[in-house]
Amino acid sequence: MLAKRIIPCLDVRDGRVVKGTKFTNIHDVDDPKVLGKRYSEDGADELVFYDITASHEERQTSLEFVEQVALEINIPFCVGGGIRTMDDIKTILRKGADKVSLNSGALDNPSLIQEASQKYGAQCIVLSIDVKEENGQYLVYRNGGRINTRIDAIEWAKQGVALGAGELVINSINYDGMKNGFDITLLNKITAVVNVPVIASGGAGSINDFIELGKRTTADGFLAASVFHFGEINIPTLKETLNREGISVRIER
């Protein structure tokens, strides 16, 4: 069984890591390179950085922090936000990121997934999907969770993988920042129809939430933000606990 990955998520705005609830009420946390280095030393398996206002402000991802992070850490990291073109992808990878995360840009131009996957390899191309459940339907939102596309999230996940996305990040807007656990139902619907790694995002509040995620879904990565940023969950302790519960994770010896 492949080890589950523990992935801190760092939302970046104006060069600073921030965190909110349901994509609103944003608060300052720390410097991206400082926090990234801390997580790398603590045993995180990967990091994800999102420039959370790039798409909404119709600009490219701020790249200064990407270079700084690449110099500070020794684990893989992914960067997303405002990525619309092949040139955007090339630049971010050249700055040192291991993966790029497509979201609104892929919704505007689905062929970007295919072109990028063919040029750089599916392992570099992550499709991030912001999902909100409304009246029993799982709908895709864009521009940092601001705009309802009316696209079915399950179908978009399938399409994204068919086009060449090598990994999915499923962000539950309903659960984001609520600390009541992950959206198990949504994750099981997604993992049932795709054959690539799925990263669960939104809702982590305790170690028990990670245990439930590991036992009730086949998600490959466990992503969280505030519980790590504010010291509520220690990554080594989380990994040791998951391992004792029979959930395979990488533990440094």
- Which among 130, 176, 183, 220 is annotated as catalytic? 130
Cβ burial 74-103 (10 Å sphere, 16+ → b, else e): ebbbbbbbbbbeeebbebbbebbbbbbbbb
Domains contained in the chain, CATH given: 5-244 (3.20.20.70)
Whole-number pLDDT of residue 213: 98
Instruction: Label the pairing between strands 5-13 and 221-224.
Output: parallel
Residue 130 among the catalytic residues: yes
Percent of the chain scoring above 70 in pLDDT = 91
CB 5 within 8 A of CB 198: no
Q: Helix, strand, or coil here: 253?
A: coil
- Which among 11, 88, 176, 183 is annotated as catalytic? 11
State how far the Cα of 241 lies from the Cα of 52, in Å rounded to an integer.
32
Where does residue 164 rank: exposed (0-12), middle (13-18), buried (19+ CB within 10 A)? buried
Residue 176 among the catalytic residues: no
First to last CA, the chain: 19
How much is the average pLDDT of 187-215? 97
Residue pLDDT, tens place only, 109-122 = 999 999 999 999 99
Lowest mean pLDDT among 14-23, 70-79, 219-228, 238-247: 14-23
> Which pLDDT band holds residue 170 (cuts at 50, 70, 90)?
very high
Q: How many helices (H) and strands (E) does the chain have?
A: 10, 12
